[in-house]
Amino acid sequence: MIKTYTIKLYPNKNKAKKLNSLVSFWRDHVDHKIKIFWEFDEVKGSYPPKEHSTGGRLIRDASVKAWQIVKGAKATKQEDKPAFDGFEIDLNQFSAYIIEDFETTEFDTWFNIISLEKHKRLKISGKKTPVFNAALETGMLKKSFKLIRKNGDYYMECFVEFPEVESGNTNVIGVDVGINHAAVTSDGVFYGSDVRDLQKRTKHRAYKGLSAVKQRLNAIAKEIVDDHPKQDFAVEQLLFKGKDSRTKAFRRKHNRWAYNHLSKQLEQIGIVKGFDVIRVNPKYTSQTCPVCGFISRGNRNYESFKCLECGFTGHADHVGAINISGRVPKDNPYLKPTERNDLL
Ligand SMILES: [Zn+2]
């Protein structure tokens, strides 16, 4: 499955102007070609006839885009000529790519983008989000992008392809607690590596009101929600002492209440923001292989997971979060319809 991630771009004034002309140029050309193709009796195949695919790369690509739009409209027996009025442009691997191994102090992503000036390319900076970074760890970045102008700002949509099984139920974000982290999400983002230490340091301290750890957990809950807008969450329904598997009891020895606090905090935010937090059966979530389903205590060794049956390896806490999301049936009526993973 392919997920979309949106990166905000930070062009300076001059570059923003050039992006603007690029988007306008694209829109005009797509619309112009739509008018031409709409008059055709037959619109078949992936590409327009050769005589309509001449000109520079952008013009050719715009022509293909128009061809697809008209083809779609005719296929659905649409009566009115479709229009392309979006402030967006499809960029293929020749017209845009991420510059490898290049970052500056302020920006960790730089795009190389085609421009209207011959032989000149634009270098535009952007900032990756923790969620996008995690996605790049587990998925594969597609070689096409979509540049979008929205309320005067520019965004780049990036597409990441994930292997089907490893993402659990992709309609819902699973949240588990880690050995060294307060929380791990099913898309592989780790939160609150400082909580363990904070817990140790403030253990015997008397306090009034909200403890430092609880405050930090509340902040983490907010971070998780901010990173996953328009998403529902799944957490474990914590069982009473003794009913849990031993491995889990061990790793939760001190963090059980913290996970519970975090889950409750997520629910609180959910009430305000309108998402659901679904509690699932925690049995064997830390010992189950998300690929083949094989359950064994031996699959797990501290922070690493290796399936004794199929050989799948992963970070044990991430695996737990994937399994938690997988416990929610895909047709759970409480789940929102699938949303794009939109970071706008
Ligand atoms: Zn397996």
Q: Do residues 150 and 192 both lie within one domain?
A: no
Going by C-alpha positions, the residue among 66, 64, 67 that lies closest to residue 42 is 67
Query: Distance from the CA of 332 to the center of ligand 1, in angstroms?
Result: 25
pLDDT exceeds cutoff 80 at 18: yes
Q: Do residues 232 and 93 both lie within one domain?
A: no
Summarize the confidence of residues 72-100 as an average pLDDT: 87
Q: How far is CA 10 from CA 86, 113, 127, 315, in A?
A: 20, 13, 8, 34
User: Which one of 101, 134, 162 terminates a domain?
Assistant: 162
* Percent share of the chain, pLDDT over 70: 87
Q: Can you tell me the distance from the alpha carbon of 220 to that of 224, in angstroms, rounded to the nearest whole number?
A: 6
Query: Distance from the CA of 307 to the center of ligand 1, in angstroms?
Result: 5
Query: Distance from the CA of 313 to the center of ligand 1, in angstroms?
Result: 8
pLDDT exceeds cutoff 50 at 344: no
**pLDDT band at 278, cuts 50/70/90?**
very high
Contacts of 223 (CB under 8 A, 6+ apart): 191
Q: Do residues 147 and 245 both lie within one domain?
A: no
Gyration radius from the chain CA atoms: 24
Q: Within a domain: residue 332? A: no
Residue 166, Cβ neighbours under 10 Å: how many?
Answer: 18
Query: Distance from the CA of 167 to the center of ligand 1, in angstroms?
Result: 14
Q: Tell me what pLDDT residue 340 has.
A: 41
Domain that holds residue 210: 165-326
Q: Within a domain: residue 260? A: yes
Query: Distance from the CA of 306 to the center of ligand 1, in angstroms?
Result: 8
Q: What is the pLDDT of residues 281-334, one digit of tens each?
A: 888 888 999 888 889 999 998 889 999 988 889 999 999 999 999 888 777 766
Which position has the higher pLDDT, 137 or 58? 58
Q: Rounded to an integer, what is the distance from CA 13 to the centroid of its chain?
A: 29
Q: Do residues 149 and 185 both lie within one domain?
A: no
Strands 109-114 and 121-126 turn out to be: antiparallel
Q: Tell me what pLDDT residue 163 has.
A: 65
Determine if the pTM surpasses 0.75. Answer: no
Helix (H) or strand (E) holding 190: strand 190-191
Q: Within a domain: residue 23? A: yes
Residue 69, phi then psi, degrees to nearest 5: -65, -45
Give the CATH number, domain containing residue 229.
3.30.420
Q: What is the pLDDT of residues 179-205, one digit of tens each?
A: 788 899 999 999 998 888 887 777 666
Q: Tell me what pLDDT residue 49 has.
A: 87
Contact 332/316 with Cβ under 8 angstroms?
A: no
Q: Tell me what pLDDT residue 164 has.
A: 59
Query: Distance from the CA of 289 to the center of ligand 1, in angstroms?
Result: 5
Q: Can you tell me the distance from the alpha carbon of 201 to that of 197, in angstroms, rounded to the nearest whole number?
A: 6
Identify the residue whose tokens are 């983002």. Answer: 189
Q: Can you tell me the distance from the alpha carbon of 36 to that of 42, in angstroms, rounded to the nearest whole number?
A: 12
Query: Distance from the CA of 298 to the center of ligand 1, in angstroms?
Result: 12
Query: Distance from the CA of 79 to the center of ligand 1, in angstroms?
Result: 52
Query: Distance from the CA of 170 to the center of ligand 1, in angstroms?
Result: 19
- How many domains, in total, are found in the chain? 2
Contact 175/262 with Cβ under 8 angstroms?
A: yes
Q: Within a domain: residue 344? A: no
Helix (H, G, I), strand (E, B) or coil at 294: coil
Query: Distance from the CA of 293 to the center of ligand 1, in angstroms?
Result: 6
User: Which one of 136, 162, 188 terminates a domain?
Assistant: 162
Query: Distance from the CA of 31 to the center of ligand 1, in angstroms?
Result: 51
* Both tokens assigned to 151: 């309320």
Sheet hosting strand 300-301, strand order edge to edge: 300-301, 304-306, 313-315
Q: Do residues 151 and 191 both lie within one domain?
A: no
Tell me the average pLDDT of the chain. 85
Query: Distance from the CA of 310 to the center of ligand 1, in angstroms?
Result: 4
Query: Distance from the CA of 116 to the center of ligand 1, in angstroms?
Result: 51
Contacts of 143 (CB under 8 A, 6+ apart): 92, 93, 97
Q: Can you tell me the distance from the alpha carbon of 68 to that of 44, in angstroms, rounded to the nearest whole number?
A: 9
User: Which one of 162, 178, 195 terminates a domain?
Assistant: 162
Q: Tell me what pLDDT residue 58 has.
A: 87
Query: Distance from the CA of 308 to the center of ligand 1, in angstroms?
Result: 7
Query: Distance from the CA of 253 to the center of ligand 1, in angstroms?
Result: 27
Query: Distance from the CA of 288 to the center of ligand 1, in angstroms?
Result: 8
Q: Tell me what pLDDT residue 242 has.
A: 47
Report the DSSP beta bridge partners of residue 126: 9, 109
Q: Tell me what pLDDT residue 4 has.
A: 87
**pLDDT band at 343, cuts 50/70/90?**
very low
Strands 232-236 and 172-176 turn out to be: parallel
Query: Distance from the CA of 251 to the center of ligand 1, in angstroms?
Result: 22
Summarize the confidence of residues 154-176 as an average pLDDT: 80
The amino acid occupying position 82 is P
Query: Distance from the CA of 134 to the center of ligand 1, in angstroms?
Result: 22
Query: Distance from the CA of 180 to the center of ligand 1, in angstroms?
Result: 24
Q: Tell me what pLDDT residue 179 has.
A: 76
Query: Distance from the CA of 248 to the center of ligand 1, in angstroms?
Result: 19
Q: Classify residue 119 by its DSSP letter.
A: T
Q: Do residues 110 and 237 both lie within one domain?
A: no
Query: Distance from the CA of 300 to the center of ligand 1, in angstroms?
Result: 12
Q: Do residues 186 and 136 both lie within one domain?
A: no
The amino acid occupying position 206 is A
Q: Do residues 185 and 155 both lie within one domain?
A: no
Report the DSSP beta bridge partners of residue 254: none
Summarize the confidence of residues 60-83 as an average pLDDT: 88
Q: What is the pLDDT of residues 217-274, one digit of tens each?
A: 999 999 999 999 889 999 988 765 544 444 555 555 557 778 889 999 999 999 999 8
Summarize the confidence of residues 27-51 as an average pLDDT: 89
